[in-house]
Amino acid sequence: MAGKLVLVAGATGQQGGGVARELLAAGYSVRALTRKPDSDAAQALAAAGAEVVQGDLSDADSIAAALAGVWGAFSLQNTWEAGVEEEERQGKQFADLAKQAGVQHLVYSSVGSAHRNSGVPHFDNKDRVEKHIAALGLPSYVVLRPVFFMENMQTFFPPDESGNIYIALDPATKLQMVAVADIAKYGLNAFEKADEWNGQSIDFAGDELTIPEAAAEITAASGNTVQHVQANIEDVRAYSADMALMFEWFDSTGYDADIASQEAKYGVKPTSFKAWAQGAY
């Protein structure tokens, strides 16, 4: 597969950037799609050998131009930027344009348990995109379903000055999490193993632990005392009904990736939260 041209959407973000770097290291040609080609992240990809192109996932013409001549494409949208309805439209549009462009292999980044009728809006919309992709008749496609990012503990839920992590989860709830570096490895394998993985939807995680357990690992890694404070779910709902529904679903149901079997099945060794925290703090 090395040398084939792959378009990576969201190439300056965590997921897309990780996938782009893995592909480049494996010898692929990478076309990095970004709204901000002059950003530091975009320039770093260019320095690593990527072709950086400007485009907006809401702009069909820019996506069609970026897809021209590529063998494969990594499709990624962002609920928190686009909103649930627009993210779904973008995901379906990207797949349609990939089909029209003659893309041979599409990898779509969804979310863990998207297919399980969770009632979480930004899970259910990805399920509809998945179904749309499956019905298109693409030559080859893979759906990746990563769970809650370990990096969310830094970006969305960092400890405050007192060392408190405010998350609206029951302290006893086990939450599956995954490191972005693992997502990037799955992304690479989804292209490397295009024939083997064709048509598969793959749920994966790196670890499963409570937020107090995660706080203890952050404490050990950082040397700063960190503890979980259960946030009021109604305060979360006032900020985002979607997010509140997600936390309620975590408490009642939760992800169900089979972590124990992943390395043997997919060739990616799961990163534990402890190992991730030691590298992150």
What's the pLDDT at 115?
Answer: 98
Give the residues across from 29 on adjacent strands. Answer: 5
When the pLDDT of each residue in the chain is averaged and rounded to a whole number, the result is 97
Assess whether pLDDT exceeds 70 at residue 174. yes
257-270 burial, b for 16+ CB within 10 Å, e for fewer?
bebeebeeebebeb
Phi, psi angle pair for 7, to nearest 5°: -85, 130
**pLDDT tens digits, 217-273:** 999 999 999 999 999 999 999 999 999 999 999 999 999 999 999 999 999 999 999
Rounded (5°) CA angle 163-184-106: 135
pTM tops 0.75: yes
**pLDDT tens digits, 79-106:** 989 999 999 999 999 999 999 999 999 9
Confidence label for 3 from pLDDT (cuts 50, 70 and 90) = confident
The set of residues, in sequence order, having a beta carbon less than 8 Å from that of 46 and lying 6+ positions away, is 32, 52
Is the Cβ–Cβ distance between 55 and 33 less than 8 Å?
yes
Q: Which CATH class is domain 5-146+179-205+256-270?
A: alpha beta
Assess whether pLDDT exceeds 90 at residue 1. no
Assess whether pLDDT exceeds 70 at residue 2. no
**pLDDT tens digits, 47-84:** 999 999 999 999 999 999 999 999 999 999 999 899 99
Confidence label for 111 from pLDDT (cuts 50, 70 and 90) = very high
Rg (CA), the chain: 19
3-state secondary structure 43-96: HHHHHCCCEEEECCCCCHHHHHHHHCCCCEEEECCCHHHHCHHHHHHHHHHHHH
Compute the average pLDDT of residues 129-152. 98
Could you please report the per-residue DSSP string of 192-245?
Answer: HTHHHHTT-EEEE-SEEE-HHHHHHHHHHHHSS--EEEE--HHHHHHH-HHHHH
Is the Cβ–Cβ distance between 10 and 33 less than 8 Å?
yes
